[in-house]
Structure formats: C-alpha cells, structure tokens
Amino acid sequence: MGFDKIIGQEKVKKRLCFFLEGQAKSRLSPHILFSAPRGSGKTLIAQTYADQLLNSEGKRRKSITINCSTLLRLKRFINDILVPHVVGKEITILFDEASEIPRDISMALLTILNPNRQNSNSFSYDDLTIDFDFRNVTFLFATTEAHKIDHALMDRLERVDLEQYSSQNLSAIVQSNSAGHIADLAMEQISKVLRGNARKATQMANHIALYLSAKGKQSFEIDDWKEFCASMGINPLGLSPMEIRVLQCLAERSETTLTNLSAKTHMTRQSLQRDIEMYLQKTNLIEVTPTGRKLTHAGRHYLSNLN
C-alpha cells in the first residue's frame, strides 16, 4: 500500500493512506473529489488510489476511468456504465474532468450518493432499479474546476486538494524521468521554467532525453541547458510568447483596460483572464486593478532583461 511512485504531495498521500487502511478493514472508502490545477497529477494520484482499493477477497478491485466529456445523457450512462460495470460487481469508477458531468447525471449521482448509515442506496430509472452497496462500489472524481460541480454533489464527497509542487519536487520529477544525469546548476535553471507543473516536468525530462540522445551524451550540463533553451525557445520563468506579448502591450502605457488588451492581442477577454493573466499574476509580473491592468516593477525588470 502506498504512493512510492508519486513525488511530492506528502500530506495528500498520508491522508489517502489513512483511507486505504480503513478500506482494507471495513471495505468502505469515502467517495473522493481530487481537485488541482491542470498538470498537477490529480488523475494519476486518483488512479493510484483506485488501484489499491480491495475487494471482498482482499485482492485489488477492478477500476475504470471515464472522461466526463464523453457522457451525453443519463440513459446511456445507466445502460453503458452502471448496468454492465456496477450491477453485481465490485468496482471503483473514476470520473475524470468531473466538471463536465451533464446536469441529469449529476442529479442522479445526488440520489446514488445520498449518505445513510447503511452505506447503500438504490436508484430507479424507468422500470429499472440499481442497488449500490458502497462496500463494493466507490466513486472518485477529478477536476481542475471544482466550482463547476453541483454544490449538493460536492457535499457528498470528500474533497482532496493537491498541494503546490516545490522546486525540489519538480527537480526530482525531472531527474526520475530523465535518461541521463542532469547537473545541479542545470537543474536549478530547469526548475524555474516548469511553472509549478508536474506534467511539464515530465515533458521536460522527455525533451532532455531526446537532446542527450541526439548529442550522444549521458550528462546534461549548464551549457547544454543554454543551447537547449535556444533550440526550444524557452523563455525565463517559462513564459509563452503570448504572455510576453501581453507584458509588452502593458509596457506601452501606465495602465490598460482588459478590452484594450484584448484588441491589441486579438485574444478574447475570457482567454486573457483564464490562460494568460493567472500565471503573470502568480509571478508578480502584472497587477490587476478594478480599472485595468499594469506592469509591476518585476514585470518591467523582466522585459528589460529579456531585451
């Protein structure tokens, strides 16, 4: 039992191990919502947890993962998933991208997961009734947008929010997935462009492996990193070209409205807010005010060093 292959997330892993220990004795696990930003490894952690839940014979229970964007309507959910996989079975079902669960299925889950002392429920649809014994069936959910999940459904779930990855965590992820040795000085620079993202750390390790293979080298040094950045177009702090473009637009005046910024960048207001501004705020490069957006001192310093 454990999460040895998962780097970081120590508090989360301890909490999940507590649930696993209880499930091994009682066969009951809470229905869990895993919530974290994109690329944080929430689906991997959820699947690792699911793979360790035990059946009535003390063996690992079967699990399936459903991408909720493929769920269309309640009748198909019942006929294609619940009937073949739940009736008379012991199983764990992971709903990935849970914010995409359709409304009618979400309402059905409210009934299915209605808490009671018997830890069991029945759900009826047309002339069909399905019994749920939660010693045999566990529902897990993973999402980047927990706020989009119905509040009543959220109340029926044990919420597990993943922790932010440290630079040391990200470095360990890169090194563990790397085909060669990465020097400390190079690793220090690599960790600064990964945006706190475990998925990007894995992708970076794969790219470095390709570089080392092409060069016929076993070790990745600081000079290799400089050449690698030039080839891959990697900017300081891992900023994308569009994020830099936004900084450059903001540098043209003391403060810029979101509408004006949208016009200059040819991006929608929603896309700017969702995909661009969040990381620029996190790195303290821009400031968002009630009247507009403006560069911080750190943002101006970033652009001067970039040029």
- The Cβ of residue 121 has, within 10 Å, a number of other Cβ atoms equal to 17
Q: Is the pLDDT of residue 234 over 90?
A: yes
Look up the pTM and report it. 0.88
Q: How far is CA 277 from CA 108, 142, 273, in A?
A: 37, 24, 5
Mean pLDDT for the stretch of residues 209-223: 95
- Average of pLDDT values for 244-255? 94
Which domains are seen in the chain, by residue range? 10-161 (3.40.50.300), 172-234 (1.10.8), 241-306 (1.10.10.10)
- pLDDT tens string 170-197: 999 999 998 889 999 999 999 999 999 9
Tell me the average pLDDT of the chain: 94
Which SS3 state, helix, strand or coil, does residue 76 take? helix
More confident residue, 291 or 251: 251
Q: Is the pLDDT of residue 139 over 80?
A: yes
Supply the DSSP symbol for 181.
E
State how far the Cα of 180 lies from the Cα of 167, in Å rounded to an integer: 19
d(CA 134, CA 139): 9
Report the candidate in 9, 71, 64, 54 with the shortest Cα–Cα distance to residue 35. Answer: 9
Per residue in 91-118, pLDDT (tens digit) is 999 999 999 999 999 999 999 999 899 9
| pLDDT above 70: residue 296 | yes
293 touches 277 (CB < 8 A): yes
The values of phi and psi at residue 114, to 5°, are -60, 120
Sequence-ordered list of residues with C-beta below 8 angstroms from that of 201, at least 6 positions apart, any chain: 165, 170, 173, 174, 177, 194
pLDDT score recorded for residue 245: 96
Residue 307 scores a pLDDT above 80: no
